[in-house]
């Protein structure tokens, strides 16, 4: 299978190959997002050395496994390595004995966090390998990869010892966009409309591994029941495995996510700490940063607010789906998703999930609005007066003196703006102007699946965005 999407990441890898100096790259991202697949396919498995760590392996087993990889590439046996200094010394010998090709010799160490067992001194040996030799080899490209984001960030990217500022390229692998998902479906001969792909996206996000589990002979409803609610559902235990693979002490991270899952628009740090019942301190700041790095949450400040009033919002589709429909499901219904269709609980989730889809495709929305190159910030907004209930799903604050107030509606047909909806949109716009005292022009933008049905009331809408616009590259 060819590499789908990942244009930016491929360009970054290409620049590393073209470099005339030693390069140290870190590839990171959430579990199942396709990190290993990208590296192996891009380099077509042409590595000077490739090794992957053992899950839950002891230090002794990790060393032995590393030595087996050395023997595979060196086609010879090596003396038993007593520690990681020995192991990296043998790696250096292997690389020095290889014919020097034109271009980079790529050293790929996958699942690196698994290798760093307790008291193994793996990181200090890696530091020595890079600083004493590899950093002076112009044709060396060292790539570390792993899902354990907390390890990647603290031990490599924010290392305060011998690896401080040594990483020359950080490559964050994000989930597929809707356009990339559409390409994935086409590449795998999976027949699906854009609406159906959107439905999958609101549950699975753009995670290639999850999408690959979809069986093309079944409907969306059947596939979701099979993936989550059947007796042997393959993703039934995925939530715990996902967080445990990414974070040490995953329970605290899951508690933060669960607290945010009940508040669509997000919580301030103070509200979050109180709701999650966690201590405020450096540890909490680190957890929030790591959750943000992985794309589970986002940090923003509402229109007109300062950075001190930042709000944290859960933006991970899979996590939201888990807390809304899996964790507290008491009955054993193998067809739960089928039975929830058109249920109020389902409709409420769908509305918010579609908001998250729009938020994750802000570049596509900006392109439709003709402001792709304009500096913007995105937030939600809620009136200080709870009695009027005015809130805006998405506020795009533009550097060209315009603010787009985006009303997001998820319907299965064209949206008809009647007198009541039109009056509500006008009221929200006026409340926003009055409370924020903005001097910018305020435009009303409506985002929906199939667009607006033209009528007299629709004339007050300055711009609209449809589902098809979100599928643009």
Domains and CATH numbers, the chain: 7-172 (3.40.50.300), 176-360 (no CATH), 362-470 (3.40.1350.10)
- Residue 147 contacts residue 29 (beta carbons within 8 Å): yes
Between β-strands 49-52 and 376-382, what pairing exists: parallel, antiparallel or unpaired? unpaired
pLDDT of residue 4: 93
Nearest one of 46, 55, 56, 51 to 13, comparing CA atoms: 46
Which residue in the block uniquely carries the two structure tokens 């792993």?
A: 146
CA distances from 352 to 39, 194, 263, 355 (A): 34, 18, 11, 5
- Exposure class string for 200-232: b at 16+ Cβ within 10 A, else e: bbbbbbbbbebbeebeeeeebebbbbbbbbeee
Give pLDDT, residue 366. 97
Q: How many CA atoms lie within 13 A of 64 on its CB side?
A: 5
d(CA 229, CA 418): 39
Say what the pTM is. 0.91
**pLDDT at residue 98, as a whole number:** 84
CB burial string 359-390: b at 16+ within 10 A, e below: bbbeebbbbbbebeeeebebbbbebeeeeeeb
Give the residue carrying structure tokens 């740090």: 269
- How far apart CA 91 and CA 67 sit, in angstroms, is 9
Quick one: pLDDT at residue 307?
Answer: 66
**Is residue 145 within 8 Å of residue 111, measured between CB atoms?**
yes
Residue 173 has phi, psi (to 5 degrees) of -95, 115
Distance CA 439, CA 397 (A): 12
- Going by C-alpha positions, the residue among 275, 60, 37 that lies closest to residue 176 is 37
Residuewise pLDDT in 10s, the chain (473 residues):
589 999 999 999 999 999 999 999 999 988 899 999 999 999 998 899 999 999 889 999 999 999 999 999 988 888 999 999 999 999 999 999 887 667 889 999 999 999 999 889 999 999 999 999 999 999 999 999 988 878 898 899 988 888 999 999 999 999 999 999 999 999 999 999 999 999 999 999 999 999 999 999 999 999 999 999 999 999 988 999 999 888 888 999 999 999 999 999 899 999 999 999 888 888 899 899 889 988 899 998 878 776 677 899 999 999 999 999 999 876 688 999 999 988 898 999 999 999 999 999 999 999 999 999 999 999 988 888 877 778 999 999 999 999 999 999 998 999 999 999 999 999 999 999 999 999 999 999 999 999 999 999 999 899 999 999 999 98
Three-state SS at 106: strand
All residues at 6 or more sequence positions from 82 whose CB lies less than 8 Å from its CB, including other chains: none
Q: If DSSP codes are grouped into helix, strand and coil, which group holds residue 247?
A: coil
* Angle, CA of 123, 293 and 180, to the nearest 5°: 115
Q: What is the pLDDT of residue 180?
A: 96
List CB contacts of 288: < 8 A, sequence separation 6 or more.
256, 269, 297, 299, 312
Going by C-beta distance under 8 Å and a sequence separation of 6 or more, which residues neighbour residue 68?
none
Task: Name the DSSP letter for residue 155.
Answer: I
Cα separation of 465 and 469, whole Å? 6
Two structure tokens written together for 77: 């046996």
74 sits in which H/E element: helix 59-74
Six-digit token pair at 74?
A: 């060196």
For residue 154, give the DSSP letter.
Answer: I
Residue 91: alpha-carbon gap to chain centroid: 33
Q: Mapping DSSP to helix (H, G, I), strand (E, B) and coil, where does residue 63 land?
A: helix
Which helix (DSSP H) or strand (DSSP E) does residue 141 occupy?
Answer: strand 140-146
Q: Are 208 and 176 contacting, i.e. CB atoms less than 8 angstroms apart?
A: yes
Q: Name residue 314's beta-bridge partners.
A: 297
């Amino acid at each position: 299978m060819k590499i789908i999407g990942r244009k930016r990441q491929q360009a970054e890898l290409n620049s590393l190959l073209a470099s005339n100096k030693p390069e140290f790259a870190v590839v990171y991202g959430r579990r199942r997002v396709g990190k290993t697949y990208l590296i192996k396919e891009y380099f077509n498995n042409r590595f000077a050395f490739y090794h992957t760590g053992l899950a839950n392996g002891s230090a002794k087993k990790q060393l032995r496994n590393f030595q087996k990889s050395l023997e595979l590439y060196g086609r010879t046996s090596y003396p038993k390595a007593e520690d990681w200094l020995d192991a990296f010394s043998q790696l250096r010998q292997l690389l020095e004995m290889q014919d020097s090709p034109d271009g980079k010799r790529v050293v790929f160490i996958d699942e690196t966090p698994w290798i760093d067992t307790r008291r193994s001194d793996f990181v200090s040996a890696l530091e020595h390998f890079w600083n004493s030799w590899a950093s002076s080899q112009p044709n060396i490209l060292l790539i570390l990869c792993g899902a354990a984001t907390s390890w990647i960030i603290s031990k490599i990217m924010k290392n305060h010892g011998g690896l401080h500022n040594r990483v020359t390229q950080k490559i964050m692998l994000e989930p597929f966009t809707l356009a990339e998902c559409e390409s994935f479906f086409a590449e795998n001969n999976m027949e699906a409309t854009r609406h159906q792909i959107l439905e999958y996206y609101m549950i699975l996000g753009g995670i290639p591994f999850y999408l690959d589990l979809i069986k093309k002979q079944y409907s969306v409803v059947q596939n979701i029941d099979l993936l989550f609610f059947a007796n042997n559902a393959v993703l039934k235990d995925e939530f715990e495995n996902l967080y445990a693979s990414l974070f040490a002490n995953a329970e605290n991270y899951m508690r933060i996510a669960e607290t945010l899952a009940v508040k669509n628009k997000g919580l301030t740090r103070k509200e979050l700490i109180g709701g999650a019942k966690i201590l405020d301190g450096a540890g909490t700041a680190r957890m929030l940063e790591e959750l943000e790095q992985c794309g589970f949450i986002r940090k923003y400040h509402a229109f007109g607010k300062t950075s001190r009033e930042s709000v944290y919002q859960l933006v991970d589709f899979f996590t939201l789906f888990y807390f809304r429909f899996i964790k507290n499901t008491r009955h054993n219904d193998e067809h739960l998703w089928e039975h929830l269709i058109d249920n109020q609980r389902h409709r409420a989730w769908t509305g918010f999930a579609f908001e998250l889809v729009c938020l994750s495709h802000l570049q596509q929305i900006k392109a439709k609005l003709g402001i792709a190159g304009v500096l913007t910030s995105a937030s939600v907004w809620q009136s200080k007066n709870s009695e009027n209930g005015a809130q805006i799903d998405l506020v795009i604050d533009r550097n060209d003196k315009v603010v787009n107030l985006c009303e997001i509606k998820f319907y299965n047909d064209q949206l008809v703006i009647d007198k009541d909806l039109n009056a509500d949109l006008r009221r929200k716009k006026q409340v926003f102007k009055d409370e924020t005292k903005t001097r910018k022009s305020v435009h009303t933008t409506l985002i929906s699946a199939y667009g607006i049905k033209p009528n007299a009331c629709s004339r007050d809408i300055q711009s609209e965005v449809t589902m098809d616009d979100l599928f643009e590259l």
